[in-house]
Structure 1
Amino acid sequence: MDPIRVDIIGLSTSPSSGGAYALVLGEVDGNRRLPIIIGAFEAQAIALELENIQPPRPMTHDLLRDTFEQVDVEVNDIVIDELREGTFFAKVRYHHNGDEAQLDSRPSDAVALAVRVDAPIFVDSDVLEEAGIPTEEEGVSALPGGLGGEEEEEMEEEEVTGGTQLGRMKKKLQKAIDKEDYERAAELRDEIQRLEAEEG
């Protein structure tokens, strides 16, 4: 299906992550976010470029960008085009000598290259449909009436503990999104997909 344009929302981590980060991509013309778990090296490569920090020596993705420039390769875009058994796959699409071609890539490497060559990032609509996490509009309370304080916390806890296991997982997912804990949201999303597959 058609690829959907996304932007980088940010990188997040938690003390229990074991060195992994969540790269959070946000739909440009929509409200879905796509968290992808990536390694610390790739997260650093993306963050350095986003913050305009120049390392003393070129990093791997800088070398790739410089090599492409030397051999007259122009990166058109990158597309995260597949999700298989919890693993995302991407393509770097480029122009060279009048021909169009593509390279297989991990999404983290493709994004690290994209930010260096100012290439747009896309996600296949099927992948975004399967793994994207819808977010609520700014300022909209997750609970109608907005009780606030301890009452709201108690009500949230009741919501998470009641109902089916799948229902509880979905409520926990929404809480993680509301707190912008995208690494936890990605874990919950994967667990929900596993439960839905078992029930289906």
Structure 2
Amino acid sequence: MENKRVKLSILGISFSQVQAGAYALIFSEENGIRRLPIVIGTPEAQSIAIVMEGITPPRPLSHDLMCSIFKKLNINLIEVVIYKFEEGAFFSELILENDGITYKIDSRTSDAVALAIRTNSPIYTTEEIMQNMAVVFDEQASSVEEDYPKKVKEDSDDEELSSLRLEALKHRLTDAVNEENYELATKLRDEINRRENIS
């Protein structure tokens, strides 16, 4: 099960409320309800957003330049694979093809996605990553108990999260996902995973 691949599509980009100067790149699985939030830097977020919004910059950006080089040298970006999460970072590979030979190139996930969106190349991850790092968006989710208000506070800090019981964290995670507050959901998910790994 862990080696099964999951195809992803870019759902959107939002400003990160849990990490200053960063953005959350939100993926959705194909034919599924899980969402995979990945924190990326401002330049990469802008580079991806420009393509999503159909904007043509006056001069090519670095990712545009790379795609021009690929085209000139007859290099095809077959796919991007987000294959590992380790020490707070997602690891990705570019799968390239040239003259019938396939190459795997290590890449930051944000750069890999910026290239994939320019070449219409598919993006995949593993089922293991989805099981461990994705959050489930359920439009039919039932209301939580009154102890956990529907409106999740966006300014929850590490100290507050660490003081909550695991069950409370899971309730807040459900709220955050239902409100599409993926930045907070990412923070809650990480705290839940940290505790479950300790136990």
Which TM class, normalised by the smaller chain length?
0.7 to 0.9
Q: Which runs of 4 or more aligned residues in structure 1 lie more than 6 Å from their structure 2 counterparts after TM superposition?
A: none
**Counterpart residue number, 2:161:** none
Tell me how far 1:75 sits from its aligned partner. Answer: 0.6
Query: Which letter does structure 1 place at the counterpart of 2:104?
Result: Q
Alignment of 1:52 with 2:54, yes or no, is: yes
Relative to its length, the structure with more helix (as a share) is 1
**Counterpart residue number, 1:23:** 25
Percent of aligned pairs sharing the same letter? 39
Tell me how far 1:197 sits from its aligned partner. Answer: 1.2
Contact 2:148–2:168, Cα closer than 8 Å, also in 1: no
Q: How does 1:185-196 map to 2 (within 5 A)?
A: 185-196=185-196
Inter-partner Cα distance in structure 2 for 1:104 and 1:85: 17
Aligned length: 186
**Counterpart residue number, 2:104:** 102
User: What per-residue deviation string (whole Å, max 9, x for no partner) do you get for residues 5-63 of structure 1?
Assistant: 01001111145641111100000121110000000111000000011101111111001
TM-score (norm 1): 0.87
Inter-partner Cα distance in structure 2 for 1:120 and 1:169: 34
Structure 1: gaps spanning 5 or more residues: 145-151
> Which secondary structure does the structure 2 equivalent of 1:25 belong to?
strand
Inter-partner Cα distance in structure 1 for 2:46 and 2:54: 12
1:62 is matched with which residue: 39, 61, 64? 64
Tell me how far 1:93 sits from its aligned partner. Answer: 0.4
Which is greater in Rg? 1
Query: Which letter does structure 2 place at the counterpart of 1:191?
Result: E
> Which secondary structure does the structure 2 equivalent of 1:142 belong to?
coil
Cα RMSD (Å): 2.0
Tell me how far 1:142 sits from its aligned partner. Answer: 2.6
Structure 2: gaps spanning 5 or more residues: 153-163
